[in-house]
Structure 1
């Protein structure tokens, strides 16, 4: 309100950049980043009428491709509607779905040591048939629908099930690649076989490949772009880390919280973080 009054009065108004933090695994509302959980923050980030830009601070190992696409599309829709540039700043990691989010930006800024890329699709699980045989355990399962028990970990793997999952992965991978092609059009500097094989690179190498635009950090780049008087406002401050997030939870929610923390830790650990 004060900024608007100053503008109406013809007084000098410092450029305003709202920062939206996208940190953690991408998934459901309870288990990480989701459009439902971020919708209000995204709207708040684009709400001011005199915005210079919206900055996305990304630190994510990826997760759900659906939520990655929904969040990225929502950000792009508001950017177009409000005619506001979106600048992305990758911190430690923008891999897989995290890079999907990064491509919502008009410009991607990385640190030289950031981990960037992983344009691919993965699914994993376990098979327990050998252990069951050793223990003398029989699997009893009843379905209506011949594919309902597809990839049951307690049954032998069937080639047709594996083929079907791979078809799903190829479809999702193509959607991911098309998004990167669209958002990085004219800036990619390597073959698709190299860029879209699931590999990751340092931020420095990502700039060379065209997956990112430049090296830098949020505050220095914003001052360079908008001047020393730029106002930087964080819309959604970082969550409490570690056990501080779990204080006061009942036993059930505490167990879920610990499981979520372990899963998130494992997702970041895949990239050495």
Structure 2
């Protein structure tokens, strides 16, 4: 091990709260404040060391830093649930598409290109994902207040606003578009190549009632049920873990407690504080 570096006898730490104009870069604000600090250092070098530097930390960074582990865990659980849910929808699209093989074969026979079929099926998948995003945002408007009420009142500043804002809407729209494309392209690609010779000669009822079709439908339904159970179990586990993380026993009663920092002079400092 290397030698431990001793903290200087006189160390300085200033904490100031400033409000920046909307759109002001943090680097520009830090540079402007650094000019003032350098001027103070030239005028009063005893109280302002030459190596004093300005660091800007936003309120979100300060508050969310305490919940970094919990938020990462929650975000990972949400991503896993999103993937499972999208896979479930992809299976449903594939199952629905098998019942439309006769329709797709007829469209190909009258001149529809494969790209046109893929575009049609992909558009249906994107519309489905956008509808889910709209319903999710609507539920979030109702659920965000309930989730905020579950958090301990001392866990975040009272002036912090927890709400669904424009960034959340943009993120939801982007996720809906991306998931609709990623999980809709595979069924669209597979269903865009119908077997014309077999499907046109047979009726749609006969085709849907064939043994191969029934086995495929049973397999897809079994996969859907399995993924739904995994989705429900994962959602319950994520919510349980989140509540447990936010209600961890602190070992003391945080109600009616005031926290403050006191800088005592060396002559008045008790021996046990040395």
TM surpasses 0.5: no
Higher Rg of the two aligned structures: 2
- Which has the larger share of helix? 2
Query: More relative contact order in 1 or in 2 (CA 8 Å, sep 6+)?
Result: 2
TM-score by length of 1: 0.24
Higher-strand-fraction structure: 1
